[in-house]
């Protein structure tokens, strides 16, 4: 699929990035995480959450009429990669991941790190990432947590 543009996000995109994030989690992750976990994941999140990364120039998105997905980096970490349900499986995630890895490599890092959802573990394996650990993610004081897989790639 080539009918989309990949570009750096601006602060005006923050609300739509939040919508894409929510859409992705609610449509693509429900086979791996239950309703309680999905609610915890999105609880208290808003457009504000993307502000710092946008200002730092660390967030890029794929867009046609809508934002189809976005990727965020933080140092050597691919800290977010989320594709909307209707845009999944069309190569958008691959393009955004490649961009993030290029940025990390160009910043001088020899390894990329990420904490994958169970949903995305095989996707990252497809690109050579290997599992280096496991963990749990939770927000605030929530007793609910989600399992994540720590992964690395030599660049
Ligand atoms: C995981 C995710 C980012 C993948 O993005 P996508 O746009 O659907 O994937 P693409 O269409 O770019 O797939 C690229 C390649 O990965 C492969 N792939 C994608 N998902 C895969 C999976 N679950 N298992 C194995 N391979 C997979 C595709 O077959 C494709 O292979 P090819 O390049 O040889 O043709 C996306 O589905 C998503 O946002 N999921 C929900 C949110 C999430 O868990 N994000 C990760 C947070 S760490």
> How confident is the model over 37-60, as pLDDT tens digits?
999 988 888 999 999 999 999 999
In whole angstroms, give the CA distance from residue 112 to residue 75: 9
> Which structural domain range is residue 85 located in?
5-154
pLDDT at residue 1 is higher than 80: no
**What's the angle, vertex CA 75, arms to CA 145 and CA 121, rounded to 5?**
45
> How confident is the model over 72-117, as pLDDT tens digits?
999 999 999 999 999 999 999 999 999 999 999 999 999 999 999 9
In whole angstroms, give the CA distance from residue 14 to residue 112: 25
In whole angstroms, give the CA distance from residue 54 to residue 46: 14
Q: Which atom of ligand 1 is nearest to the CA of 118?
A: 44
Asked whether 120 lines ligand 1 (CB < 6 A), one says yes
CATH value at residue 115? 3.40.630.30
Average pLDDT over every residue of 142-149: 92
Q: Whose CA is nearest to atom 10 of ligand 1?
A: 91
Asked whether 85 lines ligand 1 (CB < 6 A), one says no
Number of structural domains (the chain) is 1
Torsions phi, psi for 12 (to 5 deg): -65, -20
Do the strands 146-154 and 59-63 form a parallel or antiparallel pair, or are they unpaired? unpaired
Which pair of tokens denotes residue 29? 């992750």
0.85 surpassed by pTM: yes
Asked whether 88 lines ligand 1 (CB < 6 A), one says yes
Cα separations in angstroms, 59 against 72, 100, 141: 4, 9, 28
Q: Whose CA is nearest to atom 15 of ligand 1?
A: 94
Asked whether 98 lines ligand 1 (CB < 6 A), one says no
């Amino acid at each position: 699929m080539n009918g989309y543009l990949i570009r750096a996000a601006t602060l005006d995109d923050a609300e739509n990035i939040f919508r894409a994030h929510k859409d992705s989690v609610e449509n693509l992750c429900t086979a791996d995480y239950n309703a309680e976990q999905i609610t915890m994941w999105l609880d208290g999140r808003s457009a504000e959450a993307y502000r710092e990364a946008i200002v730092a120039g660390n967030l890029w998105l794929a867009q046609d009429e809508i934002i189809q997905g976005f990727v965020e980096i933080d140092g050597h970490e691919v800290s977010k990669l989320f594709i909307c349900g209707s845009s999944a499986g069309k190569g958008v995630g691959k393009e955004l991941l490649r961009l993030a890895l290029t940025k990390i490599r160009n910043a001088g890092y020899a390894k990329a790190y990420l904490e994958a959802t169970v949903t995305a573990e095989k996707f990252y394996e497809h690109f050579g990432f290997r599992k280096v650990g496991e963990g749990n993610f939770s927000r605030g004081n929530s007793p609910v947590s989600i399992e994540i897989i720590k992964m690395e790639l030599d660049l």
